[in-house]
Amino acid sequence: MAPSRTDEPLPSFTQANNEPYHGPPRNIKNIDAIEFSASLQPKNYNILGTHPDSRILFLDVNILDSSGRDPYRGDVLIERERITRVGTVLNVEELKRDPKVRVFHGRGRTLMSGLGDAHTHFTWNGGDLNRLGELGVEEHTLLTARSAQCYLDSGYTMCFGAASAKDRLDIVIRDAINAGDIPGPRYLANGKEIARRDGDLVPGITAYADGPDEMREVIRHHVDIGVDQIKLSMSGEEITEIRSAQDCYFSDEETAACVDEAHGLGKRLCAHARARDSVKMCVRHGVDVIYHASYIDEEGMDMLEKQKDKHVVAPGINWLIATLHDAAAFGYPNEKAQQVGYQKEYDASIRGLREMHRRGITVLPGGDYGFAWTPHGTYARDLSHFVNLLGFTPMEAIIAATAGVAKLFMRENELGKIKEGFFADSILVDGDPLEDIGCLQDHDRLNVIVINGRVHKAGREEYVAPPIAGQDGGVHPIVPNFPEVKREMQKNY
Ligand SMILES: [Zn+2]
């Protein structure tokens, strides 16, 4: 194989269309077409704790249902864990009078599915990752629980674990969420990322394995302790300065063995794969979820296109952007980021991802929040990046983050849409995300958050029928609603 680190010009993917697009969402067909083998279906987790008599009625909401249909005004009824009526609720007058029904007056606000993140690290600390290895397991468990809650506070109801810093942290937190003990999104847990000894990125949080046999053994261990998927760390990362993002550390033989072992045990795999050759190995051997894919070339793109019903790509694009532009305050200036190669990688990555979107390869948002300059709570930046940089319409970005992540969960028939029979994981947004995708980043505009038919968040004004003080033209001027003032860095948290 030719060396992948190169100063050759990057593939231009000249066919990528950069014209603005206003038609129907283009990514529904490819998301629907994805078919992971039934033998890879994750365990059917459900969240406990929703009262069997619970009923929630959303009145006069703008329903953004993630089916691709334009939003429309209507009412939505939730009974117990699931959505039971959408659009027209037949006995609505009766329900409104029933004191046991929790009524939310939407006043035209947007009701949509909770969001999903395809590359989640609950165990990252928002600081120096190298220190995570030294952090006591008790403290680390608390930190992990806090990130889980932060995702839900941010409107996220589905997260796909992309590596845990310690063996069982992801697993324990997933189980605690499902038991109804702590708040958090639906979660598919991962173990430590598996890397070769000459290819690790963060020593203290890596499961080491060299060669097919050792890799199989580590995978068996992870499956034994209860992970839902396996993480391979195949390529480098420029910030290490010793392992280039253009270099792939895995061999074909190793990758094939990992896929064989994990799939044989009913688990899918995801991979840190920035390098050209790492992307090709993922496609050649069947690593289901490809992270980053920055240096994909023409040949890799063709291979991926042919297998696009078997893979999703989750670029975790915010890491590149924030490392280039938001890291100076943490001692990592733009010049440094450029010097080690992040601008080059960003340029390559944007070109590749736009081309994937054009070719109907499924690209999902989410990724690598929980580093110092990609703080927890800012997850919805990804949707803005998809719109502003990758050529997605706001509707396409929302479909990817909802129905797309539900597909990644292999639960597309009950998660990720505002649809009768689906689980009631929904958010009421003060704003129109199709007009302003950035409004999803503002926690103050996520007025109501419901997961599994249970209200996780709702402000005081949601509990009384209008008109109320502050919204009644000053008739009852008691305590107006002061908007919260936040500093720039806290704005989204
Ligand atoms: Zn990651």
Helix 169-178 with 137-153: angle, nearest 10 deg:
50
Q: Which domains does the chain have, with CATH numbers?
A: 115-408 (3.20.20.140)
Question: How much is the pLDDT for 12?
Answer: 75
Question: How much is the pLDDT for 459?
Answer: 78
| For residue 418, pLDDT beyond 60 | yes
Question: How much is the pLDDT for 181?
Answer: 96
Cα of 180 to ligand 1 centre, how many Å? 27
Neighbours of ion ligand 1 (CB under 5 A): 162, 368
Cα of 368 to ligand 1 centre, how many Å? 5
Q: How confident is the model at residue 9 (pLDDT cuts 50, 70, 90)?
A: confident
- Regarding predicted confidence, which is higher, 44 or 467? 44
| For residue 10, pLDDT beyond 80 | no
Question: How much is the pLDDT for 465?
Answer: 64
Cα of 162 to ligand 1 centre, how many Å? 6
Question: How much is the pLDDT for 467?
Answer: 65
Q: Taking a C-beta distance cutoff of 8 angstroms, is the pair 443, 492 a contact?
A: yes
Place of tokens 């593939």: 11
Question: How much is the pLDDT for 112?
Answer: 98
For range 461-466, the mean pLDDT: 71
Closest by Cα among 297, 339, 383 to 117: 383
Strands (E), 101-228: 101-105, 110-113, 115-120, 156-161, 186-188, 193-195, 206-208
Cα of 250 to ligand 1 centre, how many Å? 17
Token pair in block for residue 129: 């990752």
Helix 317-325 with 381-389: angle, nearest 10 deg:
90
Tell me how far apart the terminal alpha carbons of the chain are, to the nearest angstrom. Answer: 45
| For residue 490, pLDDT beyond 60 | no
Exposed (0-12), middle (13-18) or buried (19+): which is 35, by Cβ within 10 Å? exposed
Cα of 231 to ligand 1 centre, how many Å? 9
Token pair in block for residue 327: 């890291």
Looking at 6-10, 98-102, 134-138, 356-360, which range is the least confident one?
Answer: 6-10
Q: pLDDT tens across 332-355, in order?
A: 999 999 998 999 999 999 999 999
Question: How much is the pLDDT for 130?
Answer: 81
Question: How much is the pLDDT for 131?
Answer: 85
Cα of 371 to ligand 1 centre, how many Å? 9
Looking at 108-112, 129-133, 159-163, 217-221, which range is the least confident one?
Answer: 129-133
Q: Are strands 110-113 and 156-161 parallel, antiparallel or unpaired?
A: unpaired
Q: What angle do CA 237, 186, 80 make, to 5 degrees?
A: 165
Q: pLDDT tens across 353-379, in order?
A: 999 999 999 999 998 999 999 999 999
- Regarding predicted confidence, which is higher, 93 or 1? 93
**Helix, strand, coil shares, percent, the chain, to 5:** 35, 20, 45
Average pLDDT, the chain: 92
- Name the residue type at position 217: E
| For residue 491, pLDDT beyond 70 | no
Cα of 163 to ligand 1 centre, how many Å? 7
Q: pLDDT tens across 432-460, in order?
A: 999 999 999 999 999 999 999 999 999 77
Cα of 258 to ligand 1 centre, how many Å? 19
Percent of the chain clearing pLDDT 90 (strictly above): 82
